[in-house]
Chain A
């Protein structure tokens, strides 16, 4: 460890620990959380490590408070995050909405377990993918990432912080118990090899500053408390001054921009992994732990001579509609294994728009798919 508390090198880490180290490497200096399986280890690791890098850990009274404190810390000038699982994610929806409305950079990690309700606390699931997209009330767009290994939990947590600063919103890391509790080799680069997106600071003097005048990419620069900008922000519909305006016109202008700043920049945001798509008859579209399990089925299918491709969502929201539509033109079917009863499969179906079939391989949670069930679906798809 360096004198600044930074670490680099090769480590044997759980996904939860890798996530925490990714946050620290990204410059996260505030964590507010509440214990919940299977995300507790992230809070534990942060409570040990944050003081070493001059940061602050606080355990709040619940997830409502955790999310509120993260937003407060971000406006206080720190990069901030929280980590939770399904039941806590439900409680955070309230202030994720506030974060979207105030345009507050921060990161929320959801180590998904099997739901609904308390469900299977120690066992895996992917049932919160649509909640990630639509869980807070009102129209909005969001960014969510899905890592498939502890290394990716490290890398994508950094990416989540960078996206949150670039587009000024809470960015979600939608992982699963399986990855959070998985131990693998994780390479942590030296500090100078990690790209960090700084906060977009105001480029006008305080007396000219209006909190919600956007730059060309629709994202406004952000003042923080205590620097003399003397700004007001509110969860009410507001104008460029941050003042509440109770009209349909103000609502239209604000909400359109909040959605458009993501949707119009979607090509810069979206990251996917493709393998063997060209010439494929069938493509497996998956994410997270399910994508990892699917690679076994794909290898077996290829050994049988089936032309099968892999399309892995790294960015799950915004969804890569255009690319899925393009692939759909040249294949018979998408096979979509996910640990729920069909969530991202609905997006694949929507994007494919009838050009290719969408075959959902659901799993209700508590375990990952048997690769054979995915292989059977691949075989069916090419018949």
Chain B
């Protein structure tokens, strides 16, 4: 067998968590998904979770492919249905730590109904919402989070619809932990993932992530670096911001931080003294 550069370098610290035989991944140069997956895996590692009981569920799209690269029990299911699948999984075995990877289209469009109901029920799981403002896998179409006047292949003259403000939406629906970072906030993101993984109840972390191939190219941020630079200079940390004010526009500020951290009863209900 040919000796690859990776083989010569030796094991990556996260190799234990990765299906290295499936690498390289399919994500484009400049895409944020690799950073986000790496950060989640570091957070899982630092949280000292029982990895045999940590499961990843994902739907369809670029983000949906995340489940296929992790060396954990992992489920790549139908478009939009990661949350109800994960709900069944968690209720069947409450000892599992369930993490859902979902893109903005998967989570907030085709899966939007499941999103609000999973938050309402306060199912004990952590959702990583990778928001790149566009459908990447199918070639750059308008999504539920595309900013107003954002250009896509199905809104060439600019989006005329109001996008979802995901933290506001899931906060109103009842989520007990909600935060937002961009891929320019890797350290903050990691700390937030660690917190979200410890949280009992429905936790959601939205990560604003570059898609230079489609969103960036069509909206004057042609490279991943351009998008990262935009995040760096336009993000404003505002913990516990008024969620009505965290809308994202085409060229405005991106409000990031921890927005919600509350406690309320969750499902599956914890076992009582009598073991039931």
Residues of A within 8 A of B (CB): 30, 32, 54, 56, 58, 60-62, 64-66, 68-78, 80, 94-95, 97-98, 102, 223-236, 243-244
Contact = CB atoms under 8 A, between A and B. Distances in A.
A76 B67 contact: no
B85 interface: yes
A30 B88 contact: yes
B180 interface: no
A225 B73 contact: yes
B85 A232 contact: no
A69 B87 contact: yes
Interface string B251-276: 00000000000000001100000001
Top 3 closest A-B pairs, CB basis? A76-B92, A72-B88, A69-B88
B73 A95 contact: no
B66 to A, nearest CB: 11
A30 B92 contact: yes
Interface in B77-106: 77-78, 80-81, 83-93, 95-96
B88 A232 contact: no
Given A232-B67, A235-B78, A62 B113 contact: yes
Contacts of B183: none
B47 to A, nearest CB: 17
B96 to A, nearest CB: 5
Interface of B: 19, 22, 51-53, 55, 57, 67-68, 70-78, 80-81, 83-93, 95-96, 113-114, 117, 267-268, 276
A56 B92 contact: yes
B268 A65 contact: no
B229 to A, nearest CB: 34
Contacts of B53: 226
B93 A226 contact: yes
B86 A72 contact: yes
Nearest to B87: A69
A72 B57 CA distance: 10
B28 to A, nearest CB: 17
Contacts of B276: 54
B126 to A, nearest CB: 15
Contacts of A61: 84, 113-114, 117
A54 B95 CA distance: 16
A231 B73 contact: yes
B96 A76 contact: yes
Contacts of A60: 84, 87, 117
B114 A56 contact: no
A234 B57 CA distance: 10
Given A68-B81, A226-B52, A58 B71 contact: no
B74 A65 contact: no
A211 to B, nearest CB: 10
Contact of B78 (A70, A76, A78, A95): A95
Contact of B93 (A62, A225, A243): A225
Contacts of B52: 226-228, 230
B89 A65 contact: no
A58 B269 CA distance: 13
Contacts of A76: 88-93, 96
B76 A68 contact: no
B171 to A, nearest CB: 18
Contacts of B78: 68, 94-95, 97-98, 235
A72 B117 contact: no
A225 B96 contact: yes
Contacts of B68: 232, 234, 243-244
Nearest to B81: A68
Given A232-B67, A232-B76, A243-B68, A64 B81 contact: yes
B174 to A, nearest CB: 13
A361 to B, nearest CB: 39
A96 B114 CA distance: 18
A320 to B, nearest CB: 32
A69 B84 contact: yes
Nearest to B89: A72
Given A72-B92, A73-B89, 16 more contacts: A56-B268, A58-B88, A61-B113, A69-B88, A75-B88, A76-B90, A224-B93, A225-B73, A225-B89, A225-B93, A225-B96, A230-B52, A230-B73, A232-B19, A233-B74, A234-B75
B167 to A, nearest CB: 21
B71 A230 contact: yes
A236 B58 CA distance: 12
Contacts of A58: 87-88, 91, 267
A275 to B, nearest CB: 42
Nearest to A78: B92
16 contacts: A58-B87, A65-B84, A65-B117, A72-B85, A72-B90, A73-B88, A73-B89, A76-B89, A76-B91, A223-B73, A232-B76, A234-B76, A235-B76, A235-B78, A244-B68, A244-B76
Contacts of A224: 93
A380 B85 CA distance: 53
Contacts of A65: 81, 83-84, 87, 113-114, 117
Contacts of A102: 75, 77
Nearest to A244: B68
B43 to A, nearest CB: 18
B90 to A, nearest CB: 7
B92 A230 contact: no
Contact of B96 (A56, A62, A226): A226
Contacts of A229: 73
B77 A98 contact: yes
Most buried by B among A71, A76, A95, A230: A76
Most buried by B among A60, A69, A225, A235: A225
Given A231-B73, A233-B76, A244-B68, A68 B92 contact: no
